[in-house]
Amino acid sequence: MQKKLHIENQNVDVDQLIYKIGSYHYNWHNNLELFWLISGRIEMTVDGCSQVMEKGDIILINSNSGHVTFALKPNSIAMRMYISPDFFIKNSYNLDQGYFELNTLWEKNNPVFQHLRKALANLYLCTENGTKNLVKINKYLFSIADLLSEFYQKGNKKMNLQAVTQGETAMDTVVEYIKNHYAEEITLDLLAKKCNYSSSYLSKLFKSELGINFYEYLTRHRLIYAIKDLANPELKISEITFRNGFSDVKSFNNMFKKHFQQTPSAYRNQLNNDLKIVDRQFKKDLTTEEKEDITLYLKKLVSNGSVQLENPCSGCLAKEYEEKYFGLVKNIKQVMTN
């Protein structure tokens, strides 16, 4: 359930997606991301800081912040919305000298959050039938921006707004090389020679173009593939370490723990067949029944801002499985304590 909009009068792209959360999917991008957990329970880690999100929780992820999600309950469904930083810059936000701090974990009872959920639902629904009412789209987009303004902070924690583009940039050669050779030993000096730059200049270019330094970019790229390998029980931790470019197991463990707050082994122990099934369908369309349930839930929220945040897929087979699963866990605990 994805909606991509290009709003001509603002010359800005907005991308909304509703999807199921599975195991770790590590990501970072230039867009600001507004993330709303519609159902379930997940772990969200942003820039190495982890928290548990319950249904209804919302967080805003600033530009180029590394982030990862992990489902703690079956049938965890989220809406994420990408907004280009250009939209905020054109509307008088100085993102070079400020950032957003929006997280329902810090102030759950703030009434702004329910208005924000309603605005997100309205924006999503106003293009439901393929129509494009520019007046309504602008109305809801600016409503979201107005609500976000309450969470804008001026300060030293500024966002890195420059990101590598799809066109030809000075970093294209470097990015492509890392993509194809991440499992090998790569140094800044090696990349500098390939680009005919000095190491110091390339180091500055990394920070200005990608928003993070060379070593952090390389580490994040290696972790993306290491996470995928951890889902394969046939691979030992040591094998995963070396096939993804880490110098030794200790280094791999340290980097994994820095970014995800747990060791690779602990993460692997969390994986189960249900998460692997979701991963194979990651960001693909929901079932027809799930789509109908989500749409009905959003419409109820729009018509009644105080609607309870019940699981919108309460009638789904996945919900039936969830209830049986947690009932079984409860029974096992009772047996063990008797």
Mean pLDDT of 137-157: 86
* Residue 280 clears pLDDT 90, i.e. is over it: no
Distance CA 129, CA 114 (A): 25
pLDDT band at 309 (very low <50, low <70, confident <90, very high): very low
What pLDDT does residue 310 have? 45
Between 159 and 321, the more confident residue is 159
Residues 6+ apart with CB under 8 A from 58: 34, 35, 36, 37, 102, 103, 104, 113, 116, 117
Label the pairing between strands 49-54 and 12-20: unpaired
Average pLDDT, the chain: 80
Contacts (Cβ under 8 Å, ≥6 apart) of 138: 7, 9, 10
pLDDT at 89: 82
Q: Which amino acid is at 110?
A: N
What's the order of all strands across the beta sheet hosting 32-39?
2-7, 12-20, 77-83, 32-39, 58-61
pLDDT reported for residue 307: 47
Exposure string over 200-229, b if 16+ CB within 10 A, otherwise e: eebbebbeebbbbebebbbbbbbbebbbbb
Q: What pLDDT does residue 106 have?
A: 87
Higher pLDDT, 228 or 74: 228
- For residue 143, the model assigns a pLDDT of 93
Confidence of residue 103 (pLDDT cuts 50, 70, 90): very high
pTM over 0.85: no
Judged by average pLDDT, the poorest of 97-106, 117-126, 195-204, 304-313 is 304-313
Question: Tens digits of per-residue pLDDT, 193-235?
Answer: 888 889 998 898 887 766 678 998 899 889 989 988 998 889 9
Domains along the chain? 1-162+273-338 (2.60.120.10), 172-272 (1.10.10.60)
Say if residue 17's pLDDT is above 80: yes
Residue 281's pLDDT is what? 53
139 sits in the region (left: phi over 0; alpha: psi -120 to 50; else beta) called alpha
- Of 6-10, 29-33, 137-141, 257-261, least confident by mean pLDDT is 6-10
Residue 311 has pLDDT above 90, yes or no: no
Percent of the chain with pLDDT over 90: 35
* pLDDT > 70? residue 119: yes
pLDDT in tens, 233-272: 899 999 999 999 999 999 999 999 998 888 999 988 888 7
| Percentage of residues in the chain having pLDDT higher than 70 | 76
> How far apart (Å, rounded) are the C-alpha atoms in residues 199 and 305?
55
- How far is Cα 300 from Cα 292, in angstroms, rounded to an integer? 12
What per-residue confidence (pLDDT) applies to 274? Answer: 63
Using pLDDT thresholds of 50, 70 and 90, give the confidence band for residue 18: very high
Query: What confidence score (pLDDT) does residue 322 get?
Result: 44
User: How do residues 169-202 score in pLDDT, each as one tens digit?
Assistant: 567 788 889 989 999 999 999 999 888 889 998 8
